[in-house]
Amino acid sequence: MNEKFEKILAGKCSRENLDKLKAVPNEALHSLVSSYVEHCSPDSVFVRSSSPEDTEYIRKKSVERGEEQKLATEGHTAHFDGYRDQARDKEHTCILLPPDVELGAGIKTADLQEGLKEVKGFLKDSMKGKEMLVGFFCLGPENSEFSILAVQITDSCYVMHSEDMLVRNGYEEFKKRENTDFLKFIHSAGKLDGSVSAEVDKRRVYIDINGNTVYSANTQYAGNTVGLKKLAMRLTIKKASQEGWLTEHMFVMGVKGPQGRTSYFTGAYPSACGKTATAMIEGESIVGDDIAYLRKINGRIMAVNVERGLFGIIADVNEKDVPVIWKALTTPGEVIFSNVLVADGKPYWLGDGREIPEKGVNYSGQWHKGKTDENGKELTHSHKNARFTVRIKNLDNSDELADAPSGVPVKGIIYGGRDSDTCVPVEEAFDWNHGILTKGATLESETTAATLGKEGVRTFNLMANLDFISIPVGKYITNNCKFADGVESPPGIFSVNYFLKDKNGEYLNGMHDKKIWLKWMELRVNGEAGARRTPTGFIPLYEDLKELFSRYLGKDYSPEDYNIQFTVRVPENLTKLDRIEKIYRERIPDTPEKLFNSLNSQRERLEAAAEKYGDYITPEKFEKI
């Protein structure tokens, strides 16, 4: 270690903690830690290695400092963010860029020098009276070509504890790689009111993609502070673009097929479109629920889960609908609950199916039934964005290859949206480019009256990744199209829509029907199911679905159900094409011409079919393949 760095660190580190830093042969790391010791002025520094003792230290300190509280079930704790710090702060989350660089519409950016000056101003002396925590992490499995190393510096034990549960420990990897590059995450909760951030009006989350650094200040909510989740995506999307691989907002799961076969799928769904429910379908297996790295290896597309844990929305997790997660959250084991109601040492949340206690402690402090906010609005007992954090290995459906260094072979990619009147429940693209351009790049999510007060507003969100893209959108689409080049047998690309309704506003699919769509997709990617060719893609044959519904759900699937679900709705499809084309032409000037060509070809096929069969075309009109 450089003598200058050692002198700075020795004043704040115990001999044991200094030795842990010196064991890492990386001068850039030593420079980073010493510079923020000087800038943030902590009273002391704790360095988290790979030892169980260091992990336990963080857990205990989080409880001692009031950042978490123990619950009645062994291993369970509860964390509360400040009342005004309950979600990702999109307004103050920016990518920092020099003046001569632009990423295009839809990507929030700010001036690099101005942003750094502001956030570093907030970080200055922010750790006085506190302990700085330094943690080492590995995005992706260890000992893998997927691995990306990262360091988190924070003054929050809750943040470090969350990182430990969500991301693989990288200390030993750092020790093996001399002067390796790494991602950097700097966080301070700032001034505290009790154990929560007091100055959320100064909350900032700034991403310096050229410096591979994320800065976060005056917040504790994990979406703003646990850097190695969504914040790291901005850094690795750029890295992937430069190196020829993909960072995607996707689950990775195994779907069981005949004779014990497992086929692996990735899936990208905007919020509230069924992503977690799909990844957790009973009888299938999960590799990861949120972020995937995809690489081409020996002529195949392979994927890994970037993380090792889940930070999930807990609302509506109940024993009937999500039994795997319910079991993990109601049995002994390490779980962090955030912003739920705690009463008599037990956590309660929205939609858990249990009787709500009369009173307890929640995100608003002491709570009782009928409590209102400053505007007279009644406060729910648990926040709608309340969360749980748990390791995937604690789930009964954890896949045996969840930590495989080589990843899993991707047989299919799913794009899931929410719309009430346009897309069929499941459909396969004609080929890779058709799937990327007409399914991934046209993805939308339809709002509901229950959540936003106005039903039917469609929000554009290509690949469910628009919030996290750190390169020009046109470049991102082109990268996805080119990614299958050189792949012997590209994965099939599918779209799903669990929210199609009839004329009376009733859903046409049952809650568990998504299992059947998965089973059909699994057969298709293995060449074991037929289809009909429509203007927008391949749809299932009735006889295949009838057999699958009977086998897996014990349900009789009628021809009437099939016809109404898989009718091609030409006017609605044409309206969607117009809507999507308008977005690209007005907001995304670097859109590749191939996208417009693909949309136009789809429009021509739809118009030709309507001229022949009418506006609403039942499946039997289309040829079998």
Active site residues: 273
Distance of alpha carbon 229 from alpha carbon 246, whole angstroms: 15
Crossing angle for the helix pair 112-123 and 27-40, to the nearest 10 degrees: 60
Radius of gyration over every alpha carbon of the chain, rounded to an integer in angstroms? 25
Give the C-alpha distances (Å, rounded to integers) separating 296 from 263, 410, 483: 17, 10, 8
Give the C-alpha distances (Å, rounded to integers) separating 451 from 130, 421, 470, 504: 39, 19, 28, 21
Residue among 514, 578, 103, 455 nearest 269 (CA): 514
Per DSSP, the three-state class of 287 is strand
Residue with token string 């049995």: 331
In angstroms, how far is the first alpha carbon of the chain from the final one?
66
CB-based contact 500:507 (threshold 8 Å): yes
CB-based contact 264:438 (threshold 8 Å): no
Per DSSP, the three-state class of 554 is coil
Distance of alpha carbon 472 from alpha carbon 589, whole angstroms: 10
CB-based contact 317:326 (threshold 8 Å): yes
Q: Which residues contact 44 (CB under 8 A, 6 or more apart)?
A: 12, 13, 14, 131, 132
